[in-house]
Chain A
Amino acid sequence: MKIYVPLDSAAKALGADAVAAAIKAEAAKRGLEVTLIRNGSHGMIWLEPLVEIDTGTGRQGFGPVTVADVPALLDGKMASLGPVEEIPFFARQTRLTFARCGIIDPLDLADYEAHGGLAGLRRALAMSGPDIIKEVTDSGLRGRGGAGFPTGIKWNTVMEAEAVQKYIVCNADEGDSGTFADRMIMEGDPFTLIEGMAIAGIGVGATKGYVYLRSEYPDAINVMNQAVKLARQNRLLGADILGSGKAFDMEIRVGAGAYVCGEETSLLNSMEGKRGEVRFKPPLPALEGFMGRPTVVNNVISLATVPVIFEKGAAHYADFGLGRSKGTMPIQIAGNVKYGGLFETAFGMPLGELVNDVAGGTASGHPVRAVQVGGPLGAYMPPAKFDTPFAYEEFDGQEALIGHAGIVVFDDSVDMLQMARFAMEFCSVESCGKCTPCRIGSVRGVETIDRIARGDADAIPLLADLCDTMTDGSLCALGGFTPYPVMSALTHFPEDFATVKEAAE
């Protein structure tokens, strides 16, 4: 009998390690022969720890499982969820990037290959650099880190640059609240990221890669380090990738708790051992990146999507989506929701369907009041905007952004003035300090919102003015986008900013 207990940190945070230990102990006590596999998470976090049992007739899910449930679980007396892929939240998804996550043992390369792994790399190894770039361009893949820049164009710039050394840098700094897709894929299917980076390296002519992984993710760091070691032992990395004669190797670098280091130039400074200050652009990192050399900087999900594009073909990927938002997006649904987790789907599903239908509304049972999309720099959307399709241009048209596709749901207990204040406070805590609108503007922003809270109506136009200055004058999107949550809160929830005087009138 095979038993699967996720090693994903969300599952662990809900007791998966203790459940795994209890299953082992109980099985030993009964003399049961059990193979315990620590898989990734299927992404249905409200069901974690989600245990699966396979007695030879397919995997049956159970969850959430507690230590106290384990005897009943092994007696076959616990109610089953049925096969995981038939649970509605899972069944409605289109899993391309996350196809293997939750299914395989993340550190079993044979399991990885048996589920389509390495097919993309093998195909890429037989292709020329320009053909590899063309495939990525044709897929329509855009950067999943937030800016949505076409990946093929970025790779082309690096391919065409001449240098003794080029680099692939994976941005695994995932600092946005409400996001965990990078973490989940690194913990649940790390070879996908390694394979994607290798394809990028071969495509642009870079032989060295780095993953800049935030220190807040000790479990992901651990899995990635083990995966890199295994990949090297199995010649998936090294001087002669899969016997092709082509070289690519990589290392994991750990961040040090600075949100701004997710910004690509700040990240490169950090990797070089400098303060994580944002650099002026140009020069583009594609031309002068790590150590001043041509560098591809891509988000984890961008790179981890590359293998399936090469496995199934660019056209297959590009067939999904809406308009210029092609393919699928692993959407992360979090905060006050009934069914929170990772939901990969083609671009275009309306926001309201994701919130009310897929996520089942709030966990508290209260009405949904606001939804922040795209992390701490993303706008707050009121239910009136719930028909907005989840895609780049469509959100842009609503003065909002999808960013790294985190959705944070709030019920009617939220105080939107406080959320606006938090956005400014966060900006002031995390500002790298290089430009004034961000460094000073955010501090003034907190003060101005406090004035509004004290009933000073004159401070409202001042706040709008300050936001304009931050938008226009900041060096990067930290100061430049903090006005999104602030102004969206003010615009869509003016009642929370009603001054004491007005309220009394």
Chain B
Amino acid sequence: MQNPTPAIPDPEIQAVIDKDLHLEGPLLPILHGLQTTFGHIPDTAIALVAAALNITKAEVHGVMSFYHDFRQVPAGRHVLRICRAEACQAMGGKALADETLASLGLDWHGTTANGAVTIEPVYCLGLCACAPAAMVDDKVIGRVDKARMDTILQEAGA
């Protein structure tokens, strides 16, 4: 289990919101800003975002939940995204993903017990000519086989 995250003070959240308020269509940039800064979108941010943009909390929640990227609870220390799309499947991506999940005893979106790695599915990383592909945080990896996957997981501390 992960340690409960300490509450983030409102002024810190507000500062992130304020940074992007001047933009046309500021909600997505604000949500990205919150997630980049805090690793997730804290519950307490929803009311603050709603107030800043003069929309309802339900609207903020509706937008947040529409997109695969936004998370309401922190991920593991690293996020490993494995491509599930067709070009990667053509190169054995499905077996690789299945094996990886099985070896960790996880399902998609799961986090290892030590909190090191969260595994997310992704549909194409634009690395289709060097498939199968994966990404650890912002680092891209191509032609992933079992050996390379083991190294990735080991380096991430899974």
Residues of A whose CB lies within 8 Å of any CB of B are 9-10, 12-14, 45-46, 48, 174-180, 182-183, 215-219, 251, 253-259, 270-277, 290-291, 332-337, 340-342, 363, 372, 376, 406, 408-411, 414, 419, 422, 426, 429-430, 432
Which of B3-11, B99-107, B111-119, B140-148 contacts the other chain? B140-148
* B133 is an interface residue with CB less than 8 A from chain A: yes
Residues of B whose CB lies within 8 Å of any CB of A are 23-29, 31-32, 53, 62-63, 66-70, 81, 85-91, 122-131, 133, 135, 138-143
Q: Which of A13, A271, A276, A409 has most B Cβ within 10 Å?
A: A13
Residues of B within 8 A of A411 (CB): 90
Give A183 to B31 CA distance when docked, in angstroms. Answer: 24
Give A196 to B47 CA distance when docked, in angstroms. Answer: 40
Residues of B within 8 A of A12 (CB): 139-140
Q: Is A419 touching B86 in the complex (CB atoms < 8 A)?
A: yes
Q: Is B91 touching A175 in the complex (CB atoms < 8 A)?
A: no
Give A257 to B28 CA distance when docked, in angstroms. Answer: 12
Given known pairs A273-B25, A273-B27, A273-B53, the reply for A180 and B89 (CB within 8 Å) is: no
Q: Which of A255, A257, A276, A376 has most B Cβ within 10 Å?
A: A257
Q: Which of B90, B123, B141 has most A Cβ within 10 Å?
A: B90
- What are 20 pairs between A and B in contact, CB < 8 Å? A9-B125, A10-B126, A13-B142, A46-B129, A175-B123, A178-B86, A251-B23, A253-B25, A256-B31, A256-B32, A259-B123, A276-B67, A334-B128, A336-B90, A342-B129, A376-B123, A408-B128, A409-B90, A422-B86, A426-B85
Partner of A179 from the list B25, B69, B128, B141 (CB cut-off 8 Å) is B128
Residues of B within 8 A of A337 (CB): 129
Give A273 to B55 CA distance when docked, in angstroms. Answer: 11
Residues of B within 8 A of A340 (CB): 128-130
Residues of B within 8 A of A13 (CB): 127, 130, 133, 140-143
Q: Give the interface SS of chain A, mostly helix, strand, loop or mixed.
A: mixed
Which residue from chain B places its CB closest to the CB of A423 in the assembled complex?
B86
Q: Is B124 touching A273 in the complex (CB atoms < 8 A)?
A: no
Give A430 to B66 CA distance when docked, in angstroms. Answer: 10
Q: Is B66 touching A275 in the complex (CB atoms < 8 A)?
A: yes
Which residue from chain B places its CB closest to the CB of A41 in the assembled complex?
B129
Which residue from chain B places its CB closest to the CB of A165 in the assembled complex?
B24
Give the Cβ gap from A14 to chain B, nearest Cβ, in Å.
Answer: 5
Q: Is B86 touching A254 in the complex (CB atoms < 8 A)?
A: no
Given known pairs A275-B63, A372-B86, the reply for A177 and B128 (CB within 8 Å) is: yes
Residues of A within 8 A of B90 (CB): 334-336, 408-411, 414
Partner of A363 from the list B25, B91, B127 (CB cut-off 8 Å) is B91
Q: Which 6 A-B pairs have the closest CB atoms?
A: A273-B27, A340-B129, A13-B142, A335-B90, A334-B128, A177-B85
Give the Cβ gap from A217 to chain B, nearest Cβ, in Å.
Answer: 6
New contact pairs (17) apart from A258-B66, A408-B86, CB-CB < 8 Å: A12-B140, A174-B126, A177-B86, A177-B128, A178-B86, A179-B128, A216-B81, A216-B135, A217-B125, A253-B29, A257-B69, A335-B86, A335-B128, A340-B129, A340-B130, A376-B85, A406-B128
Q: Is B128 touching A218 in the complex (CB atoms < 8 A)?
A: no
Give A493 to B21 CA distance when docked, in angstroms. Answer: 53
